[in-house]
Amino acid sequence: MKVALINENSQAAKNEMIYNSLKKITDKHGFELFNYGMYSAEDEAQLTYVQNGILACVLLNSGAADYVVTGCGTGEGAMLALNSFPGVICGHVTDPLDAYTFAQINDGNAISINFALKFGWGGDLNLEYIFEKLFCEESGQGYPRERAVPEKRNKKILDEVRKVTLNQDIPEILNSLDRDLVKGALSGEHFLEYFDRNATDEKIKEAVHKILA
């Protein structure tokens, strides 16, 4: 599994701490972890939580990432931004129980964490426990297990609803949005290095390179 970490500008100073907490768990499972920044508050490429949504959409739909970990001060803005795009199902996760139940019941491909609100002493440990429970079992098995059948049925229904309500293709979306907004979302220091290495959707790759040209 390829996991992508994305930080927006208000919480960029925590990137190294978040990355280290996440890497302990991804290494344990043999996952690849790619840090798309922001790496510090002084980065030239500044990401808003809206741009987190654009970047997550590009990574997940292109095959460059299988899972996105992101957030903002409260976690709400980034969650809403990610869920505005097709191919992205993002949960708002504040603690390990949230992480486990979202993974097992909702079977999404992204989480948004509150990196400022209620993030006090022991915040790094809470992050590590969140990531541990997020990836501790195969996603989508249901919880409690006796509810697995209706939960899986509801997830499939949701997927079909989203195909209707979010039916634009990704290059069309990228080209319809403000060009500077999209370009800013894709201008991180290591974006093209990681993206070109991992993305498999040629239409999205072509659209991204045209935007960045």
Q: 130-143 pLDDT, tens per residue?
A: 999 999 999 999 99
Locate 102 and state its tokens.
Answer: 């979202």
The CATH fold assigned to 2-212 is: Ribose 5-phosphate Isomerase B; Chain: A, (3.40.1400)
Give yes or no for a contact between 112 and 78, defined as CB atoms under 8 angstroms apart.
Answer: yes
Q: Give me the amino acid identity at 159.
A: D
Residue 87's pLDDT is 96
Residue 177's pLDDT is 96
Residue 11's pLDDT is 96
**Tokens 């925590």 map to which residue?**
14
Give yes or no for a contact between 116 and 94, defined as CB atoms under 8 angstroms apart.
Answer: no
Residue 13's pLDDT is 96
Q: Tell me the mean pLDDT in the region 35-42.
A: 96
Q: Tell me the mean pLDDT in the region 25-39.
A: 98
Residue 119, by phi and psi: left (phi above 0), alpha (psi -120 to 50) or beta? Answer: beta
Residue 142, by phi and psi: left (phi above 0), alpha (psi -120 to 50) or beta? Answer: left
Alpha carbons within 13 angstroms on the beta-carbon side of residue 6 total 38
- pLDDT beyond 90 at 167: no
40 C-beta neighbours (distance < 10 Å), count = 12
Q: Give me the amino acid identity at 102.
A: F
Residue 206's pLDDT is 98
Q: How confident is the model at residue 124 (pLDDT cuts 50, 70, 90)?
A: very high
Distance CA 71, CA 5 (A): 9
- pLDDT beyond 90 at 96: yes
Residue 113's pLDDT is 98
Distance CA 188, CA 173 (A): 20
Phi, psi torsion values for 155, nearest 5 degrees: -65, -40
Report the relative pairing of strands 67-72 and 2-5 from DSSP bridges: parallel
- pLDDT beyond 90 at 20: yes
Give yes or no for a contact between 77 and 84, defined as CB atoms under 8 angstroms apart.
Answer: no
Q: How confident is the model at residue 174 (pLDDT cuts 50, 70, 90)?
A: very high
Cα 14–chain centre separation: 16
